[in-house]
Structure 1
Amino acid sequence: MQIDDMTPAEERVWRAFPRGQGVDFRTAADDDPARGAAWAPDRTVRASVLRALLLSAPQEDGETAALRLAGARITGELLLQYADIDHAVRLSDCFFEDTPVLYAARLRQLSLRGSVLPALRAENLRVDGVLRLTDCRFEGPVRLGGAQIAGALFLDGADVGAPPAGQPALQLNHVTIGDGLSAPGLRTRGEIRLSGASTAGSVDLSGARLDAGPDTAALDAVTLTVEGDVLLREAEVHGWIGLRGARIAGRLDFSRARLAQPGDTALRASSCTIGELWLRGGPPVSGALNLRRAHVDVLFLEPDVVPGQVLLDSLVYTSLTPHEPAERRLAMLERDREGYVPHAYEQLTAAYRRIGDDDAARLVQLAKQRRRRATLPWYGRLWGRVQDATVGYGFRPLRAAGWLVSLLLTGSVAYALHHPEPLKPGEAPEFNPVFYTLDLLLPVISFGQEGAFAPTGWYQWLSYALVLTGWILATTVVTGVTRTVSRQ
């Protein structure tokens, strides 16, 4: 392209490029690029001129060429697909009439900070430095699938409009980021697709508003790999979040976030490996919480945030914070959509034991037995109720002592008032109502009273009841002791 074919504005940009000088067409600090369609010709630059500039402009010895343009109206398509550009490109606060096409291009660095664009097509883009889309406003989808970014990707404050039906609003699947994804305050009206993406840094979506609507993915990050943290603090998410199979070395933080997917699963984090999972400070999750088969080192879960339905089968965690009474934690296990899940009770028991709260651990185990009882046939449920009432399945051993003392007093008083007749009057020992009752209650120990006397009438039926009750108590006590020894 000859310089004679250019407008004064384009010529100004062309002359500044070899020396890396900036050209700023902005007329005021609050100049809004959203009104760029009405900007005058003196701040209009054709996309074809920018393309020719980046691909074939002359260089000056001793200078570092770069395209630094601000406040321009860019007309036509900026077609840079497959282009290899060794210069930094910064197009700040610009208005693009058409969607830039950067498919499979390679750039040293790219910044579109504060610009307004119809959309962005940059699949398989390669950036040797930073890709900055801070405060950009996109009317349609942003496609960066398969991109390789050596530095960081900045989407903080960006606004991405609704995509065509069936397409994600922000396509970042299989993207590789050398530093991190910084997107606090991001707003999207559709799905963010991060499936298969990997980053050596963190993913920051703090304060983001992800609005995908009901029964739609707001953030689909299946098999995401993050070496740092994933932060959604104070985020507002309408739609489900999918993290199945993700690996997050640091913290997955939903502190003070609002997750809403009524009637469906709001957070799908099954089969994940996470350093720390934080759900705290916000309202209850609207929708189910799926943590099946997940492995979490530290689970920071406030009971008030837990939704009405959870899926916890095979969830493994090392530490559970904050420390809460067992009754508040058990309410979560009772909400499991799959019903009785033994593994969830064992995990909660182990968490309490690791911090030395044996009383809470026993409460969890007792609740587990009661929950299991509901799954048994009628005779199993009946026997379970007897064990529960007598010794609390072995976790309330003092109850057995109370029952034994009560029965001992009852029998002693009854037989003291009415001595049973001796079987052999001349050979029978002196009758003792206390030891006679103990002989009936304790099936193993014998004081020589039971075999020497024979009660009659209802006293005989009382003896049968004491014998039967003694066997039940002895069996349940042995069960409880066995369970205690097994735990130790």
Structure 2
Amino acid sequence: MEIDELTPAEARIWRAFARGDYVDFRTGPDDDPADGAAWGPERTVRARVLRTLLLDGPRASGEIPSLDLSGARITGGLHLQYATVELAVRLKNCWFEEVPRLYAARLWEINLSESVLPGLIAHAVRVDGVLRMTRARFTGLVRLAGAEVTGSLYLEGARIDAPDAEGPVLQLNQAALGADLWAPGLRARGPVRLTGASVTGTVHLKDAVLDAPGRTALDAQSLVVGSSVTAGCLDARGTLDFRGARVPGTLELTHARLSCPGGIALRATSCVIGELWLFGDGRIEGALRLRRARIDSLSLDPDLVPDEVYLNDLTYGALVPQHPAERRLQMLERDGDGYVPYSYEQLTAAYRRNGDDDAARRVQLAKLRRHRRTLPWYGRVWGRLQDAAVGYGFRPLRAGAWLLSLLAAGSVVYALAPPPALKPGEAPDFSPVFYTLDLLLPIISFGQETAFAPEGPYQWLSYALVLMGWLLASTVIAGVTRSVSRP
């Protein structure tokens, strides 16, 4: 292509290219690239001219060439698939008529910040530097599946508005980023896909809005992050799916608003996470699934826990902040898997690690009461007796209260109506207290029960005291055995 074939705007870019000079067609600070379709020929550039520059543009001795352009209307398709471009490409504040095609291209730095594009096709692209699309606006799919970026991918403040498109509007599945995915304030109308992606640094999604009602707003299955995922104040309409993700640092969802009514708001099953933060003034509408996850520290506000949770085989080291056992137990009662003994054991262990043995005992008592509801009727009856008598071994003083109450009642009755002696000449002096103890305690004998025989209704009272004594002894032994056998 010869320079005399170029328009004045293209000739200006051509001359600046060899020296790496910056070309700015903007007319003022309020120049909005969204109006680019109406820009005139004085700032219109053909995409094939830019392609020629990038692949075989002029060079100047002692200068570093680059394409550094702002405020241009780029017509036609910028097709660089399979190309190798060993220079910086900066097309900022531009308006693109067609979707750029960078499939399997190898580039150095590429900057599309604040530009307006109908989409981007860049599967398997390799960028030996950073890929910057700060505050860019897309009206179609952004395809970066399998992309390899040695530096960071910048999407802060970017807008992707393609709710009716087929497939995720931002595709980063199997992408490999050598630094960070920097996307605070990202707005995506449609699903975002990060399945199988690898991010050496941090994924930043603070203040992002992911709008995909009834679908998966963020598909991050098997995502591997070197540091953390920060998504404070995230607004997600649709499912957040972190199944199988590996986040050694923090998965932060503080003050996040997760909304998927009738579906799953957050799925983090089979994950390995350093710290999961779910607290603040946000909300969770939809189910919370943490099955088989391994979390070192779970920061969970009980007020954020939705009505439907799934916690089977969830393992965590610490549970913060510290709350009374009754507040935490509400979460276990909502488990969609029903009675899950492992969940109660995890909560018990968390309280014990914090030194709160009383809360740990309350959790164990709640576990036994929940288990009782799964038993046949005779098991439920026996369980209720153990619970009433000694609180399944966690309320041992209750046995003493029962014993003293029955002892007092029997002593008063038999003091008012002493039973006759079986052998009047040989019987010891009658003691209503020790006689009642003889009836209540099935092993110890004070010689009163064998010497006196009540008659009529008092005989039925003695039978009742003997029966209550055996029941009380059995429940005490069962409860104490259970309590002692516990670590």
Cα distance in 2 between the residues matched to 1:282 and 1:232: 14
Secondary structure at 1:438's aligned position in 2? helix
Assess, with a 3 A threshold, how the Cα gap between structure 1 residues 165 and 134 changes in structure 2: closer, same or farther: closer
3-state SS of 2:283 partner: coil
Q: Which residue of 1 aligns with 2:208?
A: 208
Letter of the structure 2 residue corresponding to residue 56 of structure 1: D
CA contact (8 A) 2:255 2:283 kept: no
- The whole-number CA distance in structure 2 between the counterparts of 1:380 and 1:485 is 22
Instruction: Tell me how large the CA RMSD over aligned residues is.
Output: 1.1
Measured against aligned partners, the alpha-carbon deviations of 1:371-413 in whole angstroms (never above 9, x if no partner) come to 1111111111111111111111111111111111000001111
CA distance change for structure 1 residues 165 and 108 in 2, over 3 Å: closer, same or farther?
Answer: closer
User: How much has 1:425 moved relative to structure 2?
Assistant: 2.4
Distance in 1 between residues matched to 2:449 and 2:43, nearest whole Å: 112
Do the aligned residues in 1 keep the contact of 2:81 with 2:104 (CA within 8 Å)?
A: yes
Partner of 1:105: 105
Of 156-165 and 366-375, the range deviating more from structure 2: 156-165
Q: Deviations over 1:115-135 (max 9, x none)?
A: 000000000010010000110
Report the secondary structure of 2:34's partner residue: helix
Mapping for residues 363-442 of structure 1, pairs under 5 Å: 363-442=362-441
Q: Which residue of 1 aligns with 2:195?
A: 195
1:13 aligns with 2:1: no
Q: Aligned partner of 1:467: which letter?
A: V
- Cross-structure match for 1:139: 139
User: Where does residue 243 of structure 2 map in the other structure?
Assistant: 244
Contact 2:179-2:199 within 8 A present in 1 as well: yes
2:459 counterpart of 1:460: yes
Task: Determine the structure 2 residue equivalent to 1:22.
Answer: 22
Task: Kindly state the Cα deviation for residue 199 of structure 1 after the two structures are TM-superposed.
Answer: 0.6
Note the alpha carbon deviations across 1:157-197, whole angstroms, 9 max, x for none: 00001155431110000000010101011001111010000
Pair 1:277-2:276 in alignment: yes
What letter is aligned with 2:100?
Answer: P
Q: Is the 8 A contact 1:141 1:163 kept in 2?
A: no
Shift of 1:484: 2.3
What TM-score, normalized by structure 2, do the two folds share? 0.98
Describe how 1:25-424 pairs up with structure 2 within 5 A.
Answer: 25-162=25-162, 164-214=164-214, 216-424=215-423
Q: In 2, Cα distance between the equivalents of 1:112 and 1:165?
A: 22
3-state SS, counterpart of residue 185 of structure 1: coil
Q: CA separation in 2, counterparts of 1:211 and 1:9?
A: 39
Shift of 1:327: 0.9
CA–CA separation in structure 1 for the residues paired with 2:18 and 2:461: 109
How much does 1:418 deviate? 1.5
Q: 1:243, 1:48 → 2: CA distance?
A: 42
Structure 1: which 5+ runs fail to align?
Answer: none
Q: Secondary structure at the match of 2:146?
A: coil
Q: Secondary structure at the match of 1:87?
A: coil
Aligned-partner Cα distance in 2 for 1:64–1:448: 111
- Counterpart residue identity of residue 390, structure 2: V
Contact 1:297 1:319 in 2 (8 A): yes
CA contact (8 A) 1:283 1:304 kept: no
For 1:344 and 1:284, the matched residues in 2 are separated by 23
Do the aligned partners of 2:236 and 2:257 also contact (CA within 8 Å) in 1?
yes
2:480 counterpart of 1:481:
yes
Greater mean deviation of Cα atoms: 152-161 or 381-390: 381-390
Deviations for 1:311-349, whole angstroms, at most 9, x for unmatched residues?
A: 001000000011001111111111111111111111111
SS in 1 for 2:391: helix
Q: Give the structure-1-normalised TM-score.
A: 0.98
Distance, in Å, in 1 between the alignment partners of 2:468 and 2:62 is 101
Separation in 1, partners of 2:104, 2:45 = 24
After superposing the two structures, state which structure 1 stretch, 283-292 or 169-178, moved more.
283-292
Contact kept, 8 Å, 2:140 with 2:162, in 1: the verdict is yes
Unaligned runs of 5+ in 2: none
**Deviation, structure 1 residue 58:** 2.6
- Contact in 1 for aligned 2:217/2:240 (Cα 8 Å): yes
Contact 2:386 2:479 in 1 (8 A): no
Q: Quick one: which amino acid aligns to residue 395 of structure 1?
A: F
Q: Is the CA contact (8 Å cut-off) linking 2:256 and 2:283 kept in structure 1?
A: no
- Which amino acid in the other structure matches residue 55 of structure 1? L
Alpha-carbon contact 2:289-2:310 (below 8 Å) kept: yes
